[in-house]
Structure 1
C-alpha cells in the first residue's frame, strides 16, 4: 500500500450549503456522478456525500458514525497568509475556533469549522516549506 490518501469524503447533511462554503473559499468543483460533489486538491480529492448515503455505504446507522477527533490542515507559505484565510472562512459561513497565533513549536496557526463542524487548521510551518505546486511534506521539499 502506498503512503497516500486519495480521497477524503465528508458525510454532510446540506450538500448545497457545504459545497457553497468551499466554493466561497475559492475552490472549484469537478464533474462527478449524481450524488457526489468533488473538489480536486493537490494530490487528492475532497468529496462531499450525503451523510445518510455514506452510512448506508458503510453499513452502519448514521448515529453510529459519530464525530471523529480529527482535523484537516491547509498549510500556507507565510504566516501572513493565515489570518486572511481564517477571515475568508468566516465570511463564507464558517466559525473561527482559534484565531491565528504563534504556537509552541515555532509555527503560526488558527482553526475554523465549516458550517457542519468539520475542523480545519490553517498553518504556516517554517520547518516544512511547501513544494512549488503547494504540496506538503513533513520536513519540506
Structure 2
C-alpha cells in the first residue's frame, strides 16, 4: 500500500447548504466530475467530497447514528481491483476490522471499507472513471 490518501468524504446533513458554503462562501470550484447528490473539489492531488451523511453511512454499511460514525471517511484509490483486495487484506492483517468486503458498487467501481484501531473508516476503491497520476493522485477536471 502506497503511503497516500486520495479522497476525504464529509457526510453532510444538507448538501445544498454545504455547497453554498464551499462554493459561494469560500469561493471553491466544484469539479466537473461531480454528479447530482455528490460534489467533488480537487485539492491539489487529494479530492474533498461532500455526500449526504445517511448515504455515506449506508455505503460503508454502518449505522448513521448511535454507532460512533463520525460522518467522515478517508479513501485510498487503487489502480485496479486486485489492489483493492490486497490493501484490504493488508489492513486486516495489521489489525483493522473489515466493515464492508470489496464488491462492485452502484457508481461503477469496486470498493470495500475497513475500520482502523481508533474507529476511523477507510474506503479502498478502484474507480475506473478517475485517472491516477504516477504519484497515485486523482486527476479531476
TM-score, normalised relative to structure 1: 0.51
Deviation at 1:68, TM superposition (A): 2.1
More strand by percentage? 2
Tell me which of 89, 92, 98 is aligned to 1:90. 92
SS in 2 for 1:71: strand
Deviation at 1:138, TM superposition (A): 4.1
Q: Distance in 1 between matches of 2:45 and 2:108?
A: 27
Which portions of structure 1, spanning 4 or more consecutive aligned residues, are displaced by more than 6 angstroms?
Answer: none
Q: Distance in 2 between matches of 1:43 and 1:137?
A: 7
Q: Equivalent residue for 1:80? A: 82
Q: Distance in 1 between matches of 2:125 and 2:2?
A: 18
**Count of residues paired in the alignment:** 80
Q: What's the C-alpha RMSD, in Å, of the aligned pairs?
A: 2.3
Q: Evaluate the alpha carbon distance shift between residue 86 and residue 126 of structure 1 in structure 2; reply closer, same or farther with a 3 A threshold.
A: same
Q: Distance in 1 between matches of 2:100 and 2:80?
A: 18
SS in 1 for 2:82: helix
Q: Which has the larger radius of gyration?
A: 1
TM-score, normalised relative to structure 2: 0.51
Please list every run of 5 or more consecutive structure 1 residues that lacks an aligned counterpart in the other structure: 1-24, 28-41, 45-65
The answer to whether 1:134 aligns with 2:136 is yes
